[in-house]
Amino acid sequence: MAAVTADRSSVGAIPQLGHAVILLGPPGAGKGTQAQRIAARYHLPHLSTGDMFRDHIRRETELGKRAKPLMERGELVPDDLVLSMVEERIAQPDCRNGFVFDGFPRTLAQAGDLERICQKQKFGCTFVLHMVVEPTLLMRRLTGRRICKAGGHIYNIYDRPPKREGICDQDGSELIHRPDDTEGVISERLHAYEVQTRPLVEYYTVRKLLSPVDAMAQADDVTASIARILDGAQIPR
């Protein structure tokens, strides 16, 4: 049987039952964690444009050569480059049953282009999970974050404090409050997110693709509510 279902890996193989799952939510909403869990549960690849760029740069592809100087200068990579990459990635055989996108699309233009790519490649319905969190709670999550200097272990002085203040439980090293985790910087980031994302929320609401998820609950409960939405939609597992 294994031979029958073995990956034929022919580029351009058309996925029949594919579902695009998109996670929309502000920084601190737990998108990364939930994306990983959804990917594992449904055996779907977890995609991020950052990983794609790093991969192209490492393989020194044409796209990678165009993207590298922009990324090194910290400039925005233009939409056409992002989309070429996304289109190529989604055409890979591991995406034929769908994929989980975290942090993309970010703009209305990207959402429209992603929709066209998905139609072209015969993907089924797109699920957009909107991770909803109160701004005050986000602020608490983000300003309370402390990171271990040695091992990158993450704590939160409000929700997940270390046993000894300022010290990592796991390796005893110092916990750092990063300069971009302060209230001023965070409130700017959240505002920028809000301005950028509001049109996307409307776009997907009009298309009846948006499912709100209460992302203020514990991570396991958030996973459970996402699973109810996707299982209800009969995504093949």
Q: Which is nearer to Zn ion, 17 or 150 (CB)?
A: 150
188-207: which residues touch Zn ion (CB under 5 A)? none
CA–CA distance, 5 with 194 (Å, rounded to integer): 44
Per CB under 5 A, does 175 bind Zn ion?
no
Structure tokens, 86: 């996304």
Tell me how far apart the 2 most distant CA atoms of the chain are, in Å: 58
Number of residues that bind Zn ion (CB under 5 A): 6
Structure tokens, 182: 């302060």
Distance in Å, CB of 177 to Zn ion, minimum:
15
Q: Which is nearer to Zn ion, 50 or 151 (CB)?
A: 151
What does the angle CA 212 – CA 213 – CA 216 come to, to the nearest 5 degrees? 130
Per CB under 5 A, does 176 bind Zn ion?
no
Per CB under 5 A, does 171 bind Zn ion?
yes
- DSSP 8-class letter at 171: T
| Active-site residue list | 31, 106, 145, 178, 189
CA–CA distance, 43 with 50 (Å, rounded to integer): 21
Q: Which of 16, 33, 119, 170 binds Zn ion (CB under 5 A)?
A: 170
Structure tokens, 61: 């592809």
Q: Which is nearer to Zn ion, 171 or 194 (CB)?
A: 171
CA–CA distance, 147 with 149 (Å, rounded to integer): 6
100-159: which residues touch Zn ion (CB under 5 A)? 148, 151, 153
Q: Give the interface with Zn ion as residue ranges (CB under 5 A).
A: 148, 151, 153, 168, 170-171
